[in-house]
Amino acid sequence: MKLLKGIAMALVVCAAAGANTIYYQEQGIASGTLDGTMFANVLVTVQVAGDTAALSNLGFGIFLNAGTSEIFVPGVGMEVFTDLLEAEVDQGLNAGGIFDASQAADIMFTTADPAFHAYSLANGFGPTSSSGSINPSGDVFPTSGGFVYFSGFGNTTFTASLTPFTPTPEPGSLAGLLAVGLAGLIAARRARHD
């Protein structure tokens, strides 16, 4: 009996060791509203952090991976989605993107790219860009601060990585960091002369 328990524990540990966090990112130029604040023609980023051990193969070349998700809209902010979001690839349609499983609705999708024909969400991929769609059915998606709605869009880019994506700071944030750095240098210089 102890041998069976030992084997079972080893299998669990090995399975857990084979699992990796994978990060999916979909970006597109979009207009809309996030938590009541309008935005127009900005690069919107939606990310899902999933687990490679939790991939779902629905058959027919359709793969899903659910995880924690967030949206970033420059000039407006970042929010966490409260619905269950999934990265999705449809190899038959050569498409991939982010899907709201709670509403059965696409949020952002990169379409008509043959690179998706052999991709199953299990490893790094892309970036791949093409004509895409952002919320083609006009749904409203709940976030931790309210909701997001898209009213217009442009091309989209899908990327998957085993390392977290680095957020791109907004120009206003960079100016603020530069000002703080300069103030620190001035204060240090004054302290040295005193």
| Helical residues (DSSP H) of the chain, grouped into ranges | 2-17, 171-193
CA 52 – CA 66 distance, rounded (Å): 10
pLDDT at residue 151 in the model: 84
CA 150 – CA 132 distance, rounded (Å): 13
pLDDT at residue 12 in the model: 37
CA 88 – CA 96 distance, rounded (Å): 5
- Name the 3-class secondary structure at 111: coil
pLDDT (tens digit per residue) in 155-193: 899 999 999 987 554 444 444 444 445 555 555 555 566
pLDDT for residue 142 is more than 70: yes
